[in-house]
Chains A and B, each alone.
Chain A
Amino acid sequence: MNIINFTPISALTGGLLIGVSVILFFILNGRMIGISGIASNALTSKDKRIENLLFLFGLTLGPLICRFLLDQEVKISISNSLPLLTIGGVLVGLGTRLSSGCTSGHGISGISRFSLRSIIATITFMTVGIITVLITNIL
């Protein structure tokens, strides 16, 4: 194993901001953030729909604020073909709803609450993610 591209300071800084967002939402609005839950509820449930949609809209303002106000470069690179994006997208949507959480809902909000369910979910999706990358590297 070689360690490459490691950016501990920006990772920790971004993480702290995510923690601040989670805790403000909890103290003020009474809910623990889970983005798969917020997004799927915005689609399928009338309850708190406006709040959920505004949160998602806020997310998309993040990159624009970074680019135009903080003058930070925002780059992403996705190399998958459309069929792979389709399979990946459906798996992520279906899987996060069956297990009621994703990286934010289980990995951050759930672990903060010391939820055993979330700890098991996080270990499971990380392990399967690592195995998937291992397999795609071989293929």
Chain B
Amino acid sequence: MNKIVSIICGIIFGIGLVISEMINPEKVLGFLNIFSEWDPSLAFVMIGALIVSTPLFHMFKKMDKPLLCSNFLISNVKEIDKRLIIGSMLFGAGWGLVGLCPGPAITSLALFNISSIAFVFWMFIGFYIASKFNA
């Protein structure tokens, strides 16, 4: 059942990225272009997601366990450290350069766009490099 939930949640998320046009880097770069020609759409995507997920998360987090598995797996890290800040800065730079973040990048693989395929390849190289920092 968890596997079916995974694929269905992936589909709903992917449709959300297409309908909101966040799959298109031009739209994302338009949001980051706040000082000249600004497209505020991305803020509305976040508002839309948060008005659903925030109240329901706080309502359901009191459950003993999830409906279809034995326990919740939620991060309890609280530390604000160098890794968090430097990582977020590197991510912001790459995001501002191309306009793709992991969700839209992977979703756009379905379109067989050579640029997005190249981006995803190098993003996975980045994941791999980061996994070596943990060792």
Contacts and interface: CB of A to CB of B under 8 A. Distances in A.
Counting chain A CB atoms within 10 Å of each CB, which of B68, B106, B126, B131 scores highest?
B126
Contact of B122 (A93, A104, A133): A93
B96 A31 contact: no
B47 A92 contact: no
Contacts of B129: 90, 93-94
Contacts of A43: 124, 127-128, 131
Counting chain A CB atoms within 10 Å of each CB, which of B37, B106, B116 scores highest?
B106
- Chain B contact residues, majority secondary structure: helix
Contacts, number: 480
A89 B123 contact: yes
A54 B90 CA distance: 28
- Chain A contact residues, majority secondary structure: helix
B78 A97 contact: no
B12 A92 contact: no
Contact of A59 (B3, B14, B56, B88): B14
Nearest to A97: B130
A55 B9 CA distance: 7
Contacts of A36: 101-102, 127
Contact of A16 (B52, B73, B102, B107): B52
A96 B87 contact: yes
B37 A4 contact: yes
A99 B80 CA distance: 10
Contacts of B29: 133
Given A4-B30, A39-B106, A76-B108, A108 B23 contact: no
A50 B4 CA distance: 11
25 contacts: A13-B48, A19-B53, A22-B13, A29-B68, A30-B73, A39-B124, A43-B131, A59-B13, A59-B14, A66-B19, A78-B99, A78-B100, A85-B118, A88-B100, A89-B125, A92-B100, A94-B90, A95-B93, A97-B87, A99-B85, A99-B86, A102-B91, A112-B57, A130-B35, A136-B96
Given A39-B106, A90-B123, A103-B102, 6 more contacts: A11-B20, A12-B47, A24-B5, A92-B119, A93-B123, A93-B125
